[in-house]
Structure 1
Amino acid sequence: MSTMLRWLADEHFPMPAFTRLVDAGLDIRHVAIEQWGLSDTAVMQMAIDQQRIVITFDGDHGTLVFKDGYRPIGIVYFRIDDYLPETPAYILLDLLASNLVFIGYITVVEKEMIRQRVIPNT
């Protein structure tokens, strides 16, 4: 299923993790490469327009969904501290291998747990 998913890493997603995901064969783009300095709303709109799942360390994307009505196909929000630059890639690859469903959810990745919340009207 991972080969069918399309991803958009926001500008704060570590470049070594992005490179690892590219090397793993994911269809992924990085905002820092595409258009550095985009606002959160512009990143969200880009993800919606391109039908990509947002990968982020920024909790503001959840606010855009639940308060402002943005409807991306999915968000993976990393809420982890003290990690090596490639760690988010390994976590995401493990989640993909577990067949977790990302479309239609905000997936919150914490050190000890994974939580998901449905994105309304996706």
Structure 2
Amino acid sequence: MKLFINFFCDEDVSVLVAELLRARGFTVVTAHQVERLGVDDVAQFAYAAAHQYTLLTHNRADFEDLSMRYFETGQQHYGLIIARRHPPYELAQRVLRILDHVTADEMINKVRYI
């Protein structure tokens, strides 16, 4: 059983959000950090799934569709959190609320909206 969610933030999410979550002890990787800026969404989602990261994004339209394709084809992903645009401190607080109530195992193949 995996308890703590590890995150991959796509390039639309402020790196400050990642820093704020890391300061709380969570593992967070950004697209910038792993040199994935400009990579298409299909490849970003596959990267997150391959590394067992929950993807944090603001891009609802594209990633909802990708999540549905994974579901339809029986592929597993490690969660998707689609966030409305908020200031980084507020977004980090919203993510932390999820982390207080959801384990990594519970995020498998799930989509959450914040």
| TM-score (structure 2 length as normaliser) | 0.81
Q: Which residue of 1 aligns with 2:107?
A: 102
Give the superposition deviation at 1:3. Answer: 6.0
Map residues 45-64 of structure 1 onto 2, 5 A cutoff: 45-59=46-60, 60-64=62-66
Q: Let me know the Cα RMSD of the aligned residues.
A: 2.1
Q: Quote the Cα distance in structure 2 between the aligned partners of 1:76 and 1:65.
A: 11
Equivalent residue letter for 1:85: P
Cα gap change, 1:45/1:16 in structure 2, threshold over 3 Å: closer, same or farther? Answer: same
Distance 2:27 2:19 in 1: 11
Q: Distance in 1 between matches of 2:30 and 2:7?
A: 9
Q: Number of aligned residue pairs: give it.
A: 106
Contact 1:22 1:28 in 2 (8 A): yes
Q: Which runs of 5+ in 1 are unaligned?
A: 110-122
Structure with the bigger RCO (C-alpha within 8 Å, sep 6+) is: 2
Q: Which one of 73, 82, 88 corresponds to residue 85 of structure 1? A: 88
State the partner residue of 1:113.
none
1:53-73 CA-partner distances (Å, limit 9, x unpaired):
101101111111214645311
Distance 1:3 1:14 in 2: 25
SS of equivalent to 1:29? strand
Structure 2 gaps of 5+ residues are none
Letter aligned with residue 22 of structure 1: R
The answer to whether the Cα contact below 8 Å between 1:8 and 1:28 also exists between their aligned partners in 2 is: yes
Partner of 1:32, secondary structure, is coil
Does structure 2 conserve the Cα–Cα contact (< 8 Å) formed by 1:56 and 1:76?
yes
Higher strand share: 1
* TM-score, structure 1 as length reference: 0.76
Q: Percent identity?
A: 18
AA in 2 matched with 1:94 = R
Structure number with the higher helix fraction is 2
